[in-house]
Amino acid sequence: MDKTIASKDILDPKIRFSFGKNWTNFLELLDDQRIQEAVKSLQEKLGSTDLKGKTFLDIGSGSGLFSLAAHRLGAQVFSFDYDQDSVNCTKYLRAKYAKNSSTWSIEQGSVLDKTFLEKFAKVDVLYSWGVLHHTGHMYQAFENVSHLVKDNGSLFISIYNDQGGASRRWTWIKKKYINSNNPLIRFILVLYTLLMQWRITFIKDFLNSGNPLKTWFLYGQNDRGMSPWHDLIDWVGGYPFEVAKPEEVFNFFHKKGFQLGKMKTCAGGVGCNEFVFRKKL
């Protein structure tokens, strides 16, 4: 079933989480180790040690961390985000780590804006990690990105897993969080989310090591260099919020001429299913 919509009906939702403000706080924690984890993540997913001579489009650049990682791997990087604070985060990283770079451009724009997307030629690597399900028109975003990848190019996306009733409950929580100006209500929703997502890990860590926060403190050493607290806030506030089953994502891009290279699912649980596709010649 084609879930894309007519161009005239595409509007970026006005009620949305301020992802950029969360990423601004995250940058205070950013260090060389986290940057190297992001670089390593790209290398592992690409199966390559560098991106020299390649073009890299980061749609929804967020903190700018993976744009920076691609730049360090030698790519010609194009970054954009709908959220101006996220754009500013990405520009901050460029100014700090790649000052005066002529191979990294940053703009504000929407993946739903076909006129805006026309300025980008097809790229070797399109990276949109945990982004397209926050557009309010996920399948239209799928459609738009499918046209931006070169033959034999790579598409990196991660999409929230469809849990049925649980996903509907999370949608309610996210809408409640974003529409509330009451700090107590927001605190309760964050605390609930923390317990739902982390309680089993806390218990396992305590039983195995005596330290219930072991995984929490080592989180920045995972394969993306992120922060557990900022990922938690990103989750509870992340609205618009759409979900898809792994086979739905696979089927959509398979019909667009993509082959699945790698996939990592969240085993039917909460979180994102991760995909690396390659565009057929």
Residues with Cβ within 8 Å of residue 111, at least 6 apart in sequence: 59, 60, 82, 117, 128, 131, 132, 135, 141, 144, 145
Is residue 73 domain-shared with residue 130, that is, in the same domain?
yes
pLDDT at 105: 97
Shared domain for 144 and 194, answered yes or no, is no
Q: What is the pLDDT of residue 47?
A: 87
Shared domain for 122 and 143, answered yes or no, is yes
Angstrom distance (rounded) from CA 254 to CA 71: 29
Which of 277, 142, 148, 156 shows the shortest CA–CA distance to 224? 156
Domain assignment of residue 1, yes or no: no
User: What pLDDT score does 1 carry?
Assistant: 44
Domain that holds residue 244: 7-163+240-279
Which 3 state secondary structure label does DSSP give 55?
strand
Our count of domains for the chain comes to 2
Per-residue pLDDT at 25: 86
Same-domain pairing of 16 and 154: yes
Q: Which of 38, 22, 41 is nearest to 89 (CA)?
A: 22
The pLDDT score that the predictor gives to residue 4 is 52
Please report the pLDDT score of residue 220 as a whole number: 67
Residue 2 lies in a domain: no
254 and 183 share a domain? no
Q: Using CB atoms within 10 Å of the CB of residue 7, give its burial: 0 to 12 exposed, 13 to 18 middle, 19+ buried.
A: exposed
Residues of the chain with pLDDT under 70: 1-9, 220-226
pLDDT at position 183 is: 92
Amino acid 9: pLDDT:
56
Which pLDDT value is given to residue 222? 62
| Whether residues 112 and 139 fall in one domain | yes
